[in-house]
Amino acid sequence: MKCGVTMLSKREIKSVSIIGLGLIGGSLAKAIRRSHPDLQITAMDIEEKHIKMAVKEGIIDRWASRLQDAVCRADIIFLCAPVGAIPSLIKEIAVHAPAGAIITDTGSTKEAIMRTAVECLPAGLFFVGGHPMAGTEHSGYAASIPHLFENAYYILTPLPSTPTWVVDRMMSLLASIGAIPLVMDPQFHDKVVGAISHLPHVVASALVNAVQDIDDPQHIKERLAAGGFRDITRISSSNPAMWRDISLSNREHLAKLIQCTIKYLNAFCKYLDNSRVEEIEDFFCRAKRFRDSLPRLQSQVLLPYHDLYVDIPDRPGSIGEIATLLGQHSINIKNLRIINSREDEPGGCLVLSLPNAASFQRAQEVLNERGYKTYVK
């Protein structure tokens, strides 16, 4: 592929390159194709099957096996690789990207990536760190969906030298695919995301490991581990290698957060040992107050779907009736499950997972109109 170099106009984007067609990169490609059918999309991925699927679906226009060929015509370059690989990609792209190109990434941590951009990118290339606060426990292009970013925060961390028009261009593109762009300082980003995303992954995995170690030769715990336990540990099914890299890239903030969590657990142990009734209740009350203050029905970091709980009678055809009813109203159900252990659930024995807030609200309206009782957790 022979490349010509042209300066990117402040008013036009004609081509986008996506390096990495996994869950995030594939979803970006699909979302951009849906919202901007005339944009040229070039992709590169180490998995040939991802490229073949994207070509077959008409999602990408070109593909490249070499990084220089993938980026040399791009107006915007998305680096959708594992967070540990992004710094080396920035160094290589610095040599091959056309003058005026906007370079951005989708890594879960930002400080190390931003330092690399400052050190390596020449004048005339613009870098804006990025982190879409969306995802699922699944990975790969096959798991990608065009609406993954709808109503999800998409953090941007521009360099101090990044022109305002570049940030505006990124915010406009992201808003066009349904995301909610939010500009943030890189260090503050890593601290906050460490608390609301990285720490929960560590805690969820620790909880699963602790339960796994319980002596239970009859495997009763697996049968009872439903409801709340499944919800708060769902993220422990995420890609282990990815979370290894994320943990290491944010180790300073994450280590402090883990120590803080240990402090609370140690304090709770002391309350138990000394039967401190008021302190135990206050422990739960303090957490409940903050948890109840969090906004509902937004795309969340921990839970990719919106769960609607429904009371249904125990008779043949009940689930089919609900699925048919929602299908008649063009409401897509991403998943459904029956809860057999409901001690800490809000009510209902059927849980419907909807892909976005609009589908959730519409499903609730349709079911309530038909006399079904629905609940929100």
- For residue 41, the tally of other CB atoms under 10 A from its CB is 22
Residue 265 to residue 202: CA distance in whole angstroms: 15
Residue 139 covered by a domain? yes
49 with 133, same domain: the answer is: yes
DSSP reduced 3-state for 191: helix
Domain boundaries, position 112: 15-184
Cβ atoms of 77 and 44 closer than 8 Å: no
Asked whether the predicted pLDDT for residue 134 surpasses 90, the reply is no
Listed residues 164, 184, 204: the one ending a domain: 184
Listed residue (129, 71, 119, 118) closest to 97, CA to CA: 71
Statement to judge: residues 313 and 193 lie in one domain = no
Same domain, 45 and 91: yes
One domain for residues 168 and 235: no
DSSP string, 193-258: HIIIIIHHHHHHHHHHHHHHTS--TT-HHHHH--THHHHHHGGGGS-HHHHHHHHHHTHHHHHHHH
Phi, psi of 42 (to 5 degrees): -110, 140
Same domain, 255 and 228: yes
Same domain, 170 and 231: no
For the stretch 170-193, pLDDT in tens is 999 999 998 989 999 999 999 999
Q: Can you tell me the mean pLDDT for 230-259?
A: 88
Q: Supply the pLDDT for residue 302.
A: 39
Considering 137, 165, 184, which residue would you say is the last residue of a domain? 184
Could you give the number of structural domains in the chain? 3
Taking 80 as the threshold, does the pLDDT of residue 328 lie above it? yes
Both 176 and 251 in one domain: the answer is: no
Residue 120 CA to residue 192 CA, distance in Å, equals 27
Q: Do 143 and 129 belong to one domain?
A: yes
What CATH number should be reported for the domain holding residue 166? 3.40.50.720
User: Is there a domain that residue 264 lies in?
Assistant: yes
Counting every residue written for the chain, the total comes to 377
| Cβ-contact 67, 92 below 8 angstroms | yes
Q: What is the pLDDT of residues 60-77, one digit of tens each?
A: 999 999 999 999 999 999
Whether residue 233 has pLDDT greater than 90: no
Give pLDDT tens digits for 286-303: 999 998 887 654 444 434
The Cα–Cα gap between 86 and 246 comes to 12
